[in-house]
Structure formats: C-alpha cells, structure tokens
Amino acid sequence: MKVAIYPGSFDPVTNGHLDIVTRAARLFDKVVVGVFDTPAKALLFSTRERVDLMREAVAHLTNVEVKTYSTLTVDFARTEKAPVLVRGLRMGSDFEREFEMAMMNKQLAPDVELVCLMARAEYQFLSSTLLKEAVQFGDSSKVENMVSPAVLAALKRKFGPKAAGKN
Amino acid sequence: MKVAIYPGSFDPVTNGHLDIVTRAARLFDKVVVGVFDTPAKALLFSTRERVDLMREAVAHLTNVEVKTYSTLTVDFARTEKAPVLVRGLRMGSDFEREFEMAMMNKQLAPDVELVCLMARAEYQFLSSTLLKEAVQFGDSSKVENMVSPAVLAALKRKFGPKAAGKN
Amino acid sequence: MKVAIYPGSFDPVTNGHLDIVTRAARLFDKVVVGVFDTPAKALLFSTRERVDLMREAVAHLTNVEVKTYSTLTVDFARTEKAPVLVRGLRMGSDFEREFEMAMMNKQLAPDVELVCLMARAEYQFLSSTLLKEAVQFGDSSKVENMVSPAVLAALKRKFGPKAAGKN
Amino acid sequence: MKVAIYPGSFDPVTNGHLDIVTRAARLFDKVVVGVFDTPAKALLFSTRERVDLMREAVAHLTNVEVKTYSTLTVDFARTEKAPVLVRGLRMGSDFEREFEMAMMNKQLAPDVELVCLMARAEYQFLSSTLLKEAVQFGDSSKVENMVSPAVLAALKRKFGPKAAGKN
Amino acid sequence: MKVAIYPGSFDPVTNGHLDIVTRAARLFDKVVVGVFDTPAKALLFSTRERVDLMREAVAHLTNVEVKTYSTLTVDFARTEKAPVLVRGLRMGSDFEREFEMAMMNKQLAPDVELVCLMARAEYQFLSSTLLKEAVQFGDSSKVENMVSPAVLAALKRKFGPKAAGKN
Amino acid sequence: MKVAIYPGSFDPVTNGHLDIVTRAARLFDKVVVGVFDTPAKALLFSTRERVDLMREAVAHLTNVEVKTYSTLTVDFARTEKAPVLVRGLRMGSDFEREFEMAMMNKQLAPDVELVCLMARAEYQFLSSTLLKEAVQFGDSSKVENMVSPAVLAALKRKFGPKAAGKN
C-alpha cells in the first residue's frame, strides 16, 4: 500500500488545497494530511480549528486522514510510513524556496519522494493570505467559490460582525 | 471622465512613485493617490506624514488628489468611481505576488482594470526599504536624487542627529 | 483623443489577445491593432491572413482599427499619433525580455507610454504556439474556447484533413 | 494497475533522465517512456538511436517500457491507458513554460494527472544541450558521471575522432 | 594589495559560506569577513558567537580576517580600504533583491566593485534558515556535511538536550 | 600575475560589454577578451569584424588583449593560463541558464573560477539583439549612447543606406 503525506499550515484550507488532496487521493492508496502544529507562526486559526476544518473538507474522501505534527516534515512522513510527500505548486509559489526545501529534505531523508502537483488554472492565484485579507477588509460573499461554506463561516466568525454583516 | 487610483503605502514617497503618478496623470483625467492607512504594518512614517509628503510631492499636478483608505483596494476604487487601478512595476517587483493580487482583485471586482506602468530605468532598483536603510546607516546626501528635498528632510528628522549631522 | 496601439504577430489572434483589445478599447478613445509584417519570422499565417482574422475578431469594437507595420514598434506608434503602447502580460511571459524591450523603447521614444494589462486568469497560460501544436497534433474541438470559430476554421484548413477530420 | 508515461526527446538520455525514470518506476506500477518521434526538431540522434540508448539505460528496470510517439503527449498517455504523466523539474527549467504546458494539457485532457519530480541536486544543472557541447568542443572523459558508458560511446561516435581521440 | 570584504549575518557560518571565503581568498590579496552587528534582526547567535564561529572556520586561511560592522556595507568596505565586495549567489537567492542592492550600492559608492561568486553545486540549496530548522526539529547528525564540527556543536547547545540527545 | 578571460560573441561589442571589460581590467592584472569564433550561430558580423571592433574599443586599456577561440570556454581559459572567467550579469539575463553553464563549467574545469560582475544600471537592459533591431528598423542616432562611434558606423554599413540615411 502506497501512502502519501500532504503537509501544510492550512490556515484555513482552501478549495485549492482540497483539489490537491483529492487528486493525491486518486494517485495513492492513502493520503495523510499533516497539519503543522506550530507555536511560532502567527496564524489566524488554532491547530484544533485548522484540523477540524480540514477534516470536514475531506470527510467524503475515504482514503484520507488528517493528523497534526510538530516535527520535521520528513520525520512525519516516516512516522506515517509514507514514502511520498505531496506538494501543490502554484505560479505564485516561490520556486527557489521550493527547490531549497526539496534538496534539504532529500539530504535529510533520501528515501522520501517529493511529488509535486500543479494547481488547477482557477486556483493558480489563490493564496490563504490574500483570501484572509479579502474577507477581513472586504465582502466575504466574493470568495464563496474559493472555500467551503464551513470555512467561509469560520472566517466570518474570526473577523466579526463587520465581515459577517456585509454578507 | 476617466478616473484612476494609485494605491500604496508610500513610506515615504520616492521619485519612482512620483514618476508613476506623473505618467498616470497624463493617461487619465484624474488620479487619486490612495495612501493605505494600516495599523498593522510597521511603517516609518505615520499615515498623516505619508499623506502630507505625498501631497507636497504632487502639488504641481492639477488632476491628482491624495486620500487615505483602510478598505480593500478595489473597494477604494469603487468609492472613488475609478474604473482603473494603476501600479508601477519594477524589476525588483515580486511578479508572482503581483499576478496573485491582480487575479484576486479581478475576482473581487471584475469591473476594475489594472494598468501596470514600468518604472523608468533609473528607478528600476529604487525601493523604499533600501532607501531607508541608506539614510539610517549611511549618508543622506547620497540619496538626494531619489527623493524630494522635503522627503529627505523628513527622513533625516526620523533618523536623528546622526544622519542629519553627516549631511 | 487618446489613441493606443496594440502591436503583435497574432499568428493567429486568440481569445487572450481579443480580451486585451477589448479592455484597451474601454480605456482609450481609439485602439490601433498593429499586425507586424515580418518577412523573417517563420509564421503559420501570412500577414494578409493574420490581418483578416484580426479584423473579423474586432469587427464589433467600433473604436478599434487593424493595420500592418514593418518599422520599429515605437515608430508605428508615432505614425499613428498614439502616445500609448499596450501589451498583455501573461504568467508565461518572459518578464526580463519584457523589461528589456520596455527600456529600449523608452530610450528610442521617451514620449510613448507602455501600458501593461494582465491577462485574465483563464488566458494566463494560452500561447499561440501551444495552441497551434494542440490543433496540429491533436483534436481541434478541444481548443474551441481559446479562439473564435473563424480562427478555428482557419487553423483546421492549415493543418489539413487530419485535424479537420477529427472534429 | 497505475501506469505513468514519461515523455521527452532524450537526445540522448542522461543520468538525470534515468534518475527520474527510476524514481517513477518506484511510485507507479508501470512506466512507459515515450520518445518523441519528431521530424521537425534538429536533434543529434535519430529516433531509432534515442530509443535504443534509452532501452539499454532502463533494461534493468522490469516495469519500464520504451515506445515512440508522434501525437500530442496527452493522447499518447491515453493510448497507453496511463492516467499519469511524469516530468522532471530542474532549476534550469523554464517554469513559466512548464506551467503553460501543464495548463494546456489539463485543458486538452483533464483526466491525465501531471506529476512533477525534482531532479536530484547533482543533476539540477545537467542539460542535454550543455552535455553535447561539452563532448563536441571538449573532452568526453569529463562527462563520464553524467551519462552511461553506452551513451558516452555514442556521443563520441557522433562527434568523430576529435572527441574520441581525446579520451 | 587588493582587499575584498565578504559581508553577511553568518548565523551561523555554513560550509557554503566557507567555500566562498576560500575562493575569494584565492582571488584577492586579503579578505575581510564582515559580520553584521545588528540589534534589529532576530538571530539565533549573538554577534560575539557568530564572530567566534567564523574565526574558527577561517583560522587556516592566512589572508582572511574577521571583523564586525554596524554601518552601511559600502562604508565598511571603505573603512577597510577594500575596493571589492564579494557575494555568493545561490539558486535559492532572490535575484531581483540582489540586483536592487547592487544598484543601490553602486549609487552610494561607485568605487566599490561587487564581485559575485556562484555557490558550488552541493551548496546551491543550503540556507542558514533551513539548516537551523533541520537541527531544531530533526536530527543534527544529518547536517554534518553542511557545517563544521564546531558549528554543529554550537547549534546543538542552542537547541538543547533534544537535538543533542538524538545525535 | 592574475589573468582573467572575458568570453562572448560580441556581435557587436556594446558599451555594456566595454564597461565590464574596464572593470575587470581594474580587478585583475590582465584580461583576455575571447571572441567566440563559431561557424554555427547566425551572427551579423564576421569573427574578423567582431575582433576588430573589440580591439578598437579596448585600445586604451593597456592590460587587455583580444583573441578568438573555438574550443570550450574553460579550455580557452586554460590555454591563456587564466584562473578566472568573467561574466557580466544583466537583469535581462537568463539566470537559470547562467547557473547551468556555471555548474557545467565547474564540472569540466574545477580550477577555473567564475566571477560575475553586475551591469551598471544604464546598461541593465541593453542587449546586442535589441540594439541591432533598433538600428535595422529605426534610427541609428538614438543608440549613440549604447555603442562607440566605430560600432555605430559598422552597424550603419551593415544595414545599408536606409539606416545610414536617417542619421
């Protein structure tokens, strides 16, 4: 059985992430989504919330599990006995940084294979950062096709009556 | 009447920004410079100061106004009834990020057109960040051709007797 | 009256080009599409054919004209008394080359302003080269949303019974 | 059974290509290497030679086959009933072009998944073009770690006594 | 006598930095490594520690000195009477930012020549940031070929019994 | 004595190339400009002409010699007993290709050091290709600050009465 991990912050999960998980779940026997549990980074959602939103988003995918991890990504792959690490590439990605990480991971864990999937055209320019700004300063109804209803509701709760009221 | 907005932090306005405003003012009937009023970002100058320096810089341009805004940029465009949003591109720009923002803006406001002007050769490598470092650690006389006298004076006041004394 | 030129090879015109012309026609009073008449470059369509296909594509835009030119682009702008040169930027563009040309143009004609419009998300990855390969080796029905019916018919004629027969 | 194709010109196959095939053969049940049979492109080796050198290179990989194709790559994938198309990415790749092709492929064949593997650090900068130049103008002994002995011998035969004599 | 400076944060010095110093020491009569003494940036090691680790790393290079500086880099070059400023370029570098700094430096100090050396293939993807993450979250034994034993020991002390214990 | 080579096609030499030679001549004891003598590439000027124009351009630099070569660049360096190979980097450069060549050179000749100098701001966007187009289709008087009078005259002779007549 071929297992793959799909690691990230997912703050929050977008339809772009979900598309990558769905495609990875077709390629491999099992996909473990790894939600990085980091105390350092300033995130909008708690680890708990990010895991819950992800779990709901992938509930219909029978070969996908969601877990948290706080180790090196390649060590998480090993814990999960996953020889494959999946990443989504977008045009908005920093390719030099992607290569840097890929080469460092290869050095740390030569046995873990990095598999890159390219985001679909409609998600090429969708970043969690811009999504949050759009909801915070704008009108959440405009991002309905970028996130699930549950994530949209969660974003509105975070940004309070202002964003919620507009919709 | 065709109105364009030119949004930014302008911390502080440089000759590169001024060049873009001047050219935009020739292309469109009216240009509204939007100084982003953000509590979050760590800026050197207050919103008040950034607006004042910009106002002085564009005083000679009769079809340019300076305003602040704290909403999404595309919503500022709508408030100003401006169908055009102007941005300056420099070689030092992060193009992937520019495209990301452009596509997100198009999604949020399909009716607002993004018009990109390329910085002149001599301003291609002029960033506000490097400018501030140059004045802070160096000798402000060397950046005289990058900012107006008023901005230079303001920078010297910020960085105190050290920078001021050297000049 | 503000006139803009929109120069290119247009071999053949795609929906991506048409989108840029349409948007330019909203920004400026008149747009002159300049079809570059080059003996050197190996193109699929003759200058005549490229002009005809472009003329049909923009027939509904009342302030757009189509002409050929064989001079420097900035000299074509001057002949047309156009202070503006429009270019579409796609993620697939070679930005360094774009900047190189922009700076060279500025040197040759400081009075001509380059205005860049960003391709819409669905046309970000549409190049004439890939389009031709798709029709030549594949099935032209799949590119129906990338070109007009007239262009599709012209492409099928060029690539003969094989491409035509499949559709 | 999950089948993947790995298409290319392979003019000639390098250790970088071989590394990607080897890794793909671990990820999928079967890998079909597709040697593009193109009359147009000026290549050093004939299709026959490129296939033979590839076949020798992958002889030890039991789940790898080598075929030629002269259709669209996605149509080759379908002929082979392969839902996966593998590409190797190197730092020397033209990412914008890669994305362009990926999005065009997705449009032409939404059911074929593109899987990108990143070249190992030692092959990041190895291109067939530079390899051929090195053998042609230089000393073939220096590229022994970049190609198999059979490929090195073939390169020496192509470039005649000069290159052969030096080694 | 031709003197060059090689400035940086060196938090901590890696084998990639050491490779650049070594090569610069062959090109020029004397190399002064400038350790930037910055109160602002959040670094792992103190200026004192960064200088000590660098001194140990270059102890065998007789024409290399290590100093700290807290001025503009070009002013440090002048203080050292060095007409040359050396930088290492990696594929992971942000080239636009490099050019921006280079052009700003040229403006501030036209007499200081920037000389860029390209990192060796094995250090192209080695960044101090990823190195620290690898030691902090992982197993320091895996980065033994990236830093000197002294630097490895220092990293283990910083990250405490966890990292130290694993090795 | 430290010798450096500065290789290229120089078709023809521009003020950007001359700036790099001049700066290299200050850094090293002797600079040998290597004009690549290639039968394959379609160039405007013959090897003879390119050498002559370069010789005239560097006549005032006492430690610069001009030679032709038709071997690998690193072998030319060795023939000249030059441990240094100089290249100019422009924003318009293809960095991935530069790195590819640099790494290949390092593999072929580990003892030859690549030294990159960054083009001055005013030459960042000056390419021989665009220069030739400007003279061919335009007005040679506009490129007077990009090449020497001798090169300008040579360009006018190549492009005949049309270009010559305009000036």
B65 sits in which H/E element:
strand B64-69
Considering B127-141, E134-148, F16-30, the range whose residues carry the highest mean pLDDT is F16-30
For residue F15, give the amino acid letter: N
* Count of Cβ atoms closer than 10 Å to residue A103 Cβ: 24
Confidence of residue A13 (pLDDT cuts 50, 70, 90): very high
Q: How many alpha carbons lie under 13 Å from residue E62 in its C-beta half-sphere?
A: 0
Mutation target to probe the D interface, by most D beta carbons within 10 A, among C130, C136, C141 is C130
Choosing among E120, E137, E142, which should be mutated to test the A contact, i.e. which has the most A CBs within 10 A?
E137
Residue B108 with chain A: CB contacts under 8 Å: 134, 138-139, 142-143
Distance from CA of C24 to the nearest CA of B (A): 10
How buried is residue D160: exposed, middle or buried, by Cβ count under 10 Å (0-12/13-18/19+)? exposed
Give me the catalytic one of C9, C30, C128, C156: C128
C124, two tokens: 């970000």
* ipTM associated with this complex: 0.89
Q: How far apart are CA D73 and CA D76, in angstroms?
A: 5
Subunits touching E (CB < 8 Å, at least 3 pairs)?
A, B, D, F
- The answer to whether F83 and F2 are in contact (CB under 8 A) is yes
Quick check: D164 pLDDT over 60?
no
Give the pLDDT confidence score for residue D8 in this predicted structure.
Answer: 95
- Give catalytic status of residue F132 as yes or no: no
Residues of D with Cβ-Cβ distance to C126 under 8 angstroms: 104
Provide the token pair at A67.
């877990």
- pLDDT tens figures, A53-72: 999 999 999 999 999 999 99
Q: Mind listing the pLDDT tens digit for each residue in F42-70? A: 899 999 999 999 999 999 999 999 999 99
Top pLDDT among F80 and B132 is at: F80
Any idea which of A86-90, C56-60, C139-143, D150-154 has the lowest mean pLDDT?
A: C139-143
Chain C residues lying within 8 Å of F93, measured CB to CB:
96
Of D50, D128, D140, D156, which residue is the catalytic one?
D128
Q: Give residue-wise pLDDT tens across range E45-90.
A: 999 999 999 999 999 999 999 999 999 999 999 999 999 999 999 8
Question: What proportions of chain B, in percent to the nearest 5, are helix, strand and coil?
Answer: 50, 20, 35
Provide the pLDDT confidence category of residue F137 given band limits of 50, 70 and 90. Answer: confident
Using pLDDT thresholds of 50, 70 and 90, give the confidence band for residue A167. very low
| Contact of E82 with E32, CB cutoff 8 Å | yes
Domains, in order of start, for chain C: 3-123 (3.40.50.620)
Q: E97 CA to chain A: closest CA distance, Å? A: 13
Closest CA to E90 of E59, E127, E135, E43: E127
Size of interface A-C (CB pairs under 8 A): 11
- How many C-beta atoms surround the C-beta of residue C105 within 10 A? 22
pLDDT score of C166: 42
In this structure, are residues A4 and A115 in contact, taking their beta carbons and an 8 Å threshold? yes
Query: In the structure, what pLDDT confidence band is assigned to residue D161 with cuts at 50, 70 and 90?
Result: low
Residues 84-103 of C with CB under 8 A from A: 91
Mean pLDDT of A71-89: 95
Among the listed residues A50, A128, A132, A140, the single catalytic one is: A128
For residue F110, is the peptide bond before it cis, meaning its omega torsion is within 30 degrees of 0?
no
CB contact under 8 Å between B99 and A92, yes or no, is yes
Give the pLDDT of chain C (167 residues) as one tens digit per residue: 899 999 999 999 999 999 999 999 999 999 999 999 987 668 999 999 999 999 999 999 999 999 999 999 999 999 999 999 999 998 767 777 888 888 888 888 999 999 999 998 888 888 888 888 888 887 777 788 899 999 999 999 988 755 544 43
Round to whole Å and give the CA distance between A143 and A14: 10
Q: Which residues of C touch A121 (CB under 8 A)?
A: 121-122, 124-125
Predicted confidence (pLDDT) at residue E3 exceeds the cutoff of 90: yes
Tell me the mean pLDDT in the region D115-135.
Answer: 87
3-state secondary structure chain D: CCEEEEEECCCCCCHHHHHHHHHHHHHCCEEEEEEECCCCCCCCCCHHHHHHHHHHHCCCCCCEEEEEECCCHHHHHHHCCCCEEEEEECCCCCHHHHHHHHHHHHHHCCCCEEEEEECCHHHCCCCHHHHHHHHHHCCHHHHCCCCCHHHHHHHHHHHHHHHHHHC
Q: Is D133 near chain E, with CB under 8 Å? A: no
Per-residue pLDDT reduced to its tens digit, A106-120: 888 999 999 999 998
- Average pLDDT rounded to a whole number, residues D127-143: 83
Nearest to F40 by CA among B99, A161, D137, E86: D137
d(CA C111, CA C85): 11
pLDDT at E162: 55
- pLDDT of F164 higher than 80: no
At residue A40 the predicted structure's pLDDT band, cuts being 50, 70 and 90, is low
- Predicted local confidence at residue F166, as pLDDT: 43
> Which helix H or strand E contains C46, and what residues bound it?
none
What HEC string does E105-154 produce? HHHHCCCCEEEEEECCHHHCCCCHHHHHHHHHHCCHHHHCCCCCHHHHHH
Q: Give residue F49's pLDDT.
A: 96
Q: Is the pLDDT of residue D162 over 60?
A: no
3-state secondary structure of B101: helix
Is F41 annotated in the active site?
yes
Indicate the pLDDT class of residue F40, thresholds 50, 70 and 90: low
C90 labelled catalytic: yes
- The reply to whether residue C93 touches residue D97, judged by beta carbons under 8 angstroms, is no
pLDDT at B21 over 50: yes
- Tokens matching residue C133: 């390969």
Supply A145's token pair: 């096709």
Q: Token pair of D11, please?
A: 């003019």
| pLDDT, tens only, F74-133 | 999 999 999 999 999 987 677 778 888 888 888 889 999 999 999 988 888 888 888 888
- Poorest-pLDDT segment among B51-60, D101-110, D136-145, E11-20: D136-145
- For the segment D41-88, what is each residue's pLDDT rounded down to a tens digit? 689 999 999 999 999 999 999 999 999 999 999 999 999 999 999 999
Q: Which residues of E touch D121 (CB under 8 A)?
A: 121-122, 124-125
Model pLDDT, residue C154 = 94
Residue corresponding to tokens 């205005």: C115
The number of CA neighbours under 13 Å toward the Cβ of B49 is 14
